[in-house]
Amino acid sequence: MSPARAIPIVTYTLMGLNVLAFLATFAQSRSIMNNQVGSSIFANWALNPGLVASGDWFRLIGSGFLHFGILHLAVNMYALYILGRDTEIVMGRSRYIGIYLVSLLGGSASVMAFQPVFSSLTALSWTAGASGAIFGIMGAQAVLLLRLRRSPVPIISVIAINVIISISLPGISFWGHAGGLVAGAATAAAFLYAPQWLGAGENRVKAVRIGWIAFGAVTVVTLGVIVLRVVQLREQLGIS
């Protein structure tokens, strides 16, 4: 592995984008803890199933770069720093980007499918944060360790603890975390196991091609969940 390949550029770039998004919302809101208040970026990017059904598709991705306050950002960026670097170096930049983005979409798809449009009679529900993608990285690490025939117990323990936290504490999107976890594990399996299952053997070119085709299949399924839910919500909310 070359020295350049050993530098997790993608992870650092993703961290930088998250920080820049936070600084932009802070500049608009003038609040480091309540940066969602008075920020047009937050209002236009945060995830709400009904607004996505109305045509705000960018929220599916943009919400993954927003955070509710500096503590939310700090926790997620620390987790991304710890988990993302090794995953990127082992999986390679292209596959790592694929895992991250599909995990983010998987978290959004799960929120679309299971989270209500309204948090109360008059207030919309809002979801934001990189944690869906980070849960996806954890799922990918578990699959990677299994493929390398190493014990996945440490990362599974971390996943279990975080799932318990997601269920126990208010204000945390369990569905966003769960969707990201499943999507990340499925994407890693597409890259690491599909070539073996589909008979690539020792043919590396064929293995890479099959891996990306399987990745495409996981992406299509994830997008399919979103589209089906959008169709349902349009009918339920009377959106033409």
- From 97, 95, 166, 90, select the one nearest 127 (Cα to Cα): 166
pLDDT of residue 2: 54
Q: Is the dihedral of CA 5, 14, 144, 213 positive or negative?
A: negative
**What average pLDDT does the structure give for the chain?**
95
Reported pTM = 0.94
Give the span between the Cα atoms of 156 and 183, in whole angstroms. 16
Residue 96, both tokens: 């790592």
pLDDT of residue 20: 98
Q: Please count the structural domains in the chain.
A: 1
Give residue-wise pLDDT tens across range 166-182.
Answer: 998 888 999 999 999 99
Give the span between the Cα atoms of 142 and 148, in whole angstroms. 10
Domain-located, residue 2: no
Domain-located, residue 70: yes
Cβ atoms of 132 and 106 closer than 8 Å: yes
Tokens 């073996």 belong to 196
- State the residue range of the domain holding 145: 9-237
- For residue 59, which amino acid is it? R
Give residue-wise pLDDT tens across range 131-179.
Answer: 999 999 999 999 999 999 999 999 999 999 999 999 988 889 999 999 9
Nearest-10 crossing angle of helices 153-168, 131-147: 160
Domain-located, residue 3: no
Residue 8, both tokens: 């997790």
Domain-located, residue 157: yes
Tokens 């209500």 belong to 116
Mean pLDDT, residues 1-26: 89
Q: Is the pLDDT of residue 202 over 90?
A: no
Domain-located, residue 186: yes
CATH of residue 37 = 1.20.1540.10
